[in-house]
A and B are shown apart, each in its own frame.
Chain A
Amino acid sequence: MKVPFEKLDKAFENRLRLQIMSVLMVNDRYDFNSLKELLDTTDGNLASHLKALEKEEYIVVHKSFLGRKPNTNYESTEKGKTAFKQHLDALEQLIKQQKAK
């Protein structure tokens, strides 16, 4: 049987993107600062990966203000959720095949 490497989503090759997506799977919305704290990463790094996910249309951005402070929230899209599930299925397949060897 062929190893389904091509089924793995290129957008999730980066660990941080996969982690962002898993947080947004179980939370309706999550804001930038909480995400930064949770994933223990830098502003620039997190922003660039969020941008990449946004470009794939896996997440949408909601910008608002809390008083004077800008507050940016992220939400996963249906497309993103489906892609995430497929990626996990592919990972599971890989494990099964390696066990069978």
Chain B
Amino acid sequence: MFISFKKIFVTVAWSSFIISMLAYPVYAADWPHRTTGNAWWCTNCHVTHNTTSGQFTKVKGNSNLCQSCHQSAGDAADKPMLDVHLAEPGTQGVSHRWDSGPGGYVTAALTNTSTGTVLSGVVGGQAGVFSGTVPRTYTITINSGGDVGTATFNWTWQDEGGTSQSGGTGISTGTDIPLIGEIKVTFVNGTTPSFNAGNTWTIKVRPQINFPSNIELAKRMFIGDGAPLDITDIDTRPDYLIPASTYGKASCSTCHNQHNQSNNPFDPFSPTTYTAGDTQDRHFQRINNEQNQLCLDCHSARNKGNDFSNADPDDDVRTWSGNKKSHPVGVDFPSTKPENAPLFHTVPKEPSSSLFNPSTDVSGKAVLGKATVATNTTCVTGDLRPAVNSNDLVGLVIYFISGAYQGTGMTVTSNTSTQICWATGNLDIAVDDKYIVDKDGNPSNNFRFANAGTVSFTGGTVYCMTCHGPHWADSNELTYDAP
């Protein structure tokens, strides 16, 4: 039998290739944005031709793609991310907005009948020029109906806590129409007549938000229904040119890289190492954020130090005397109480502290867990972070921080690394109920600090997430601009 050497070579080559691919699979996305099945093809989300939106997604609206899974009946049902979550701090919502930017966000009145749309942007490209200290709302009202150019509008503006101010009346609709505070509006035609008299839109603007300087963030600022900004001179990074007509809004993928978990997360409970294709819970960040790099790119005005003397007006902290500036961030948590820092907590009793008493204080800070078994007993089952030994937690209190028993506390009578029990009182625990055991009883230790590792928080740096949660945070309660 004659065997072709060429055939052997080709067979061996292909076999080697296939075996190598099986042994070292290359994934287009990290967990959990791929599944164990075979259906996660690129074409699930992307089309190669005739796309109706930016980045080759099939449907306009970057957030829409994410939300199609991050909904109550979707694969990411436990992390729903719907528009009702969008926060209007002090009023409603539980999440950082994904439809806003330096130009704010536009909301059409529910009673509107117009088919046209209104976009808001900022004048001059590089944003952050609205330097007010409180949120501002602009109201656009169609004065006489028609299409763009024919329809006219009136507008007013109002700072939070202030009174409504007249802006202008009878102004022709068009493109890049400046309002005060460097905000501008553009009217986009719908179906003739696009704009009906009496219809209103509000533009809500937060102060001091910058257009991101990081190119990875900037080029994922979107316009209108999902087209990305046309960032020019992209190769001259970081001196790229933002379009003069800036209507960019952040979206999910501005801050998140849906394919990759490699960038350093803000979350000290996240895995510290990254393995392509497998690592979870690193929050799919677009850029590193362990030092709040991601947050502060847009919110740089909030990057204040702790200059209590107020000597430097650009570095003074928020006080309650009316300056309405920022709580200090990027400040190292001190090893001793600063003389001029009355607002700081005393030094926490961490193991490295001289105040730490090994006989009474359990090492570490708080133990977090999430129920993995639905029960109706006096125990909750779920892996703990960080890990503990048997009976480490006896005598402490387990608090449920989500689910039906949120706020309920039970005194621990026994524990293992996966189970915490109490004496009496059955609780109908559901899967994914979250709980916490505060080991040292010092609430200041429950804040997250950068550079603090996953267990000890001593000496960490105050950063945004020390106090803020980007998603599923509580922003429904009214906030007050006073102590």
Chain A complexes with chain B: no
Hey, which bits of chain A sit against chain B, CB under 8 A? none
